[in-house]
């Protein structure tokens, strides 16, 4: 094959036979690669003062590729991520050519040696419950488009779907009777099932009744009846954000896109005590790293607590814990310091859009003085202090005292639980390896009721009784977890060399459910899902 006139046949074979045929790439990948090559060929033709049809393979040198990438950034203002995506599309073609035209191997190798450019890794932005509630209240549900937008935002948050996944949902993908769920097709043609909350089902039922579509048709459409596009969603979302920022000013400081609702769903699931592996499956993430930065920060905080449990509690220690628990977040203004906002700090729980206010913490101007009093009290009630308290009494009172002040903009719960564990460790003279945080989160509803009742009066006996019961339960769960892990290790040691990869995968996935096991037991459907035996074809109707 001559390299001087082989470019056009190679491009045709690459897109039609290789990418679409043998690799079965998704439509989005093909369109992205097509756009890259259209831009690249036009760029090279302009530099060579030639027509695109007259270009040869030899014209597409590594220097041309570098010049093209540089032009994307400097002339057109594209981001480094976009540059790397364009480079990936070009590399894919030259890998294809190198395998088919040995005479062009040197030229292909030069292009393939061009590295990706390092890009700053930004912390994923997410919305607080109050911000999400304000945003979802913006669409005018009395209008057809407003109702559509409200339902779409609800689906994005409920499922954690990517925007392309949500816009591709068809009527045949939705099941509205129990158990309500939606089938989502993600990256790489991967399929997953997401449960639907009753509130989302109610919205979908009303929406589909007013906007009927065929069984195989997408449910979200524009004003002309055509499938809604991602650009249209971003345009509408921008308008809603501008309106929502009037009631939630911090939205102006965040870079919010449709994908932000996906991160919001993941963070809210984790904050509600949902296991990170379940969150990963719900979101369709490939790696735990995409959803667990806050969990990694919490783990760092607990390791620091265990290592310094005997050190006196100080403002610097608490600030350090807060920085660790935030996991590098940039959407919180006051990290590693007390809150400074003039807005009232309310402790809330409940559903998005209808939060229940349990109590209001002291204003920001008083936090520094209140925390100085708390730290002083913590020292005096420690073993060897002037007013020592029993271990469970001190730990429960310390947690309540701290949470009543609520000194931070976010992350008070994590730091408050750490302070309770530090209190127990000081009284016992050694680190307390108990699953206190997980136990409190498992009893979240009763926790807020007990916290609210204790914050309304100086009598905290009922709170201490509740907290003492949780501490005992946490000790029992810790012992059960240790026994579980030992039994797990013994089992794998006994079966060493006898399991194939699929059997290992199945056992490991089952063990991830921990000491509680699968909710409702391990059914045949759950076992099939674990082993990856779900059918690959989407049924026309459920």
Active site residues: 162, 187, 259, 262
- 469 by Cβ neighbours in 10 Å (0-12 / 13-18 / 19+) ranks as middle
- Contacts of residue 122, defined as CB under 8 A and 6 or more positions apart, other chains included, come to 330
HEC assignment per residue over 250-302 = HHHHCCCCHHHHHHHHHHHHHHCCCCHHHHHHHHCCCCHHHCCHHHHHHHHHH
CB 371 within 8 A of CB 315: yes
The Cα-based distances of 531 to 87, 191, 524 in angstroms read 36, 15, 11
Hey, how many other C-beta atoms are within 10 angstroms of the C-beta on 368?
12
Q: How far is CA 190 from the centre of its chain?
A: 18
The Cα-based distances of 177 to 6, 195, 542 in angstroms read 57, 11, 11
- C-alpha count within 13 angstroms, C-beta hemisphere, residue 535: 5
Which tokens belong to 340? 């400074």
Phi, psi of 350 (to 5 degrees): 110, -170
Which tokens belong to 533? 């035996």
- CA nearest 171: which of 233, 224, 220, 230? 220
CB 288 within 8 A of CB 280: yes
CA 247 – CA 290 distance, rounded (Å): 30
- 77 by Cβ neighbours in 10 Å (0-12 / 13-18 / 19+) ranks as exposed
Looking up tokens 């060897």 gives: 384
Which tokens belong to 382? 């420690």
Phi, psi of 387 (to 5 degrees): -135, 65
- 120 by Cβ neighbours in 10 Å (0-12 / 13-18 / 19+) ranks as exposed
- 442 by Cβ neighbours in 10 Å (0-12 / 13-18 / 19+) ranks as middle
CB 184 within 8 A of CB 165: yes
CA 133 – CA 127 distance, rounded (Å): 9
Phi, psi of 181 (to 5 degrees): -165, 165
CA 345 – CA 351 distance, rounded (Å): 18
CA 65 – CA 77 distance, rounded (Å): 17
């Amino acid at each position: 094959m001559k390299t001087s006139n082989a470019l056009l046949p190679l491009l045709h074979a690459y897109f039609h036979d290789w990418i679409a045929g043998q690799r079965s790439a998704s439509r989005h990948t093909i369109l992205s690669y097509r756009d890259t090559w259209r831009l690249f060929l036009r760029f090279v033709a302009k530099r060579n003062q030639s027509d695109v049809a007259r270009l040869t393979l030899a014209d597409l040198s590594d220097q041309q590729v570098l010049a093209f990438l540089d032009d994307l950034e400097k002339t057109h203002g594209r981001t480094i991520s976009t540059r790397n995506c364009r480079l990936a599309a070009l590399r894919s073609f030259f890998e294809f050519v190198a395998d088919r035209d040995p005479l062009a191997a040197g030229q292909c190798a030069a292009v393939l040696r061009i590295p990706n450019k390092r890009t700053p890794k930004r912390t994923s932005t997410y919305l607080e419950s109050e911000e999400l509630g304000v945003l979802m209240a913006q669409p005018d549900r009395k209008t057809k488009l407003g109702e559509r937008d409200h339902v779409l935002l609800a689906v994005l948050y409920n499922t954690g779907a990517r925007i392309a996944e949500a816009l591709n949902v068809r009527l045949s993908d939705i099941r509205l009777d129990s158990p309500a769920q939606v089938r989502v097709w993600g990256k790489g043609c991967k399929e997953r099932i997401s449960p639907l909350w009753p509130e989302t089902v109610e919205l979908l039922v009303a929406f589909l009744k007013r906007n009927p579509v065929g069984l195989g048709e997408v449910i979200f459409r524009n004003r002309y009846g055509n499938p809604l596009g991602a650009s249209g969603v971003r345009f509408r979302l921008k308008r809603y954000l501008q309106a929502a920022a009037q009631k939630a000013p911090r939205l102006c400081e965040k870079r919010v896109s449709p994908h932000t609702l996906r991160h919001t769903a993941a963070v809210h699931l984790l904050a509600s005590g949902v296991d990170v592996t379940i969150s990963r499956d719900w979101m369709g993430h490939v790696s735990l790293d995409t959803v667990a930065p806050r969990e990694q920060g919490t783990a760092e905080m607990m390791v620091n607590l265990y290592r310094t449990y005997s050190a006196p509690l100080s403002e610097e220690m608490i600030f350090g814990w807060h920085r660790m628990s935030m996991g590098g977040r940039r959407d919180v203004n006051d990290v590693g310091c007390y809150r400074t906002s003039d807005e009232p700090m309310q402790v809330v729980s409940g559903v998005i859009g209808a939060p229940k206010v349990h109590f209001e913490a002291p204003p920001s101007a008083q936090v520094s003085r209140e925390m100085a009093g708390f730290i002083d009290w913590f020292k005096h009630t420690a073993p060897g202090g002037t007013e020592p308290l029993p271990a469970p009494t001190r730990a429960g009172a310390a947690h309540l005292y701290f949470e009543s002040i609520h000194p931070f903009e976010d992350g008070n719960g994590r730091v408050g639980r750490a302070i309770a564990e530090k209190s127990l460790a000081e009284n016992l003279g050694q680190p307390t390896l108990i699953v206190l945080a997980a136990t409190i989160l498992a009893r979240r509803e009763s926790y807020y009721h007990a916290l609210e009742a204790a914050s309304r009066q100086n009598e905290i006996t009922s709170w201490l009784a509740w907290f003492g019961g949780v501490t005992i339960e946490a000790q029992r769960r810790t012992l059960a977890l240790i026994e579980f892990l030992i039994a797990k290790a013994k089992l794998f040691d006994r079966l060493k060399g006898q399991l194939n990869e699929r059997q290992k995968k199945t056992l490991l996935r089952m063990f991830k459910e921990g000491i509680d096991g699968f909710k409702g037991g391990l059914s045949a459907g759950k076992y099939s899902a674990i082993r990856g035996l779900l059918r690959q074809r989407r049924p026309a109707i459920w």
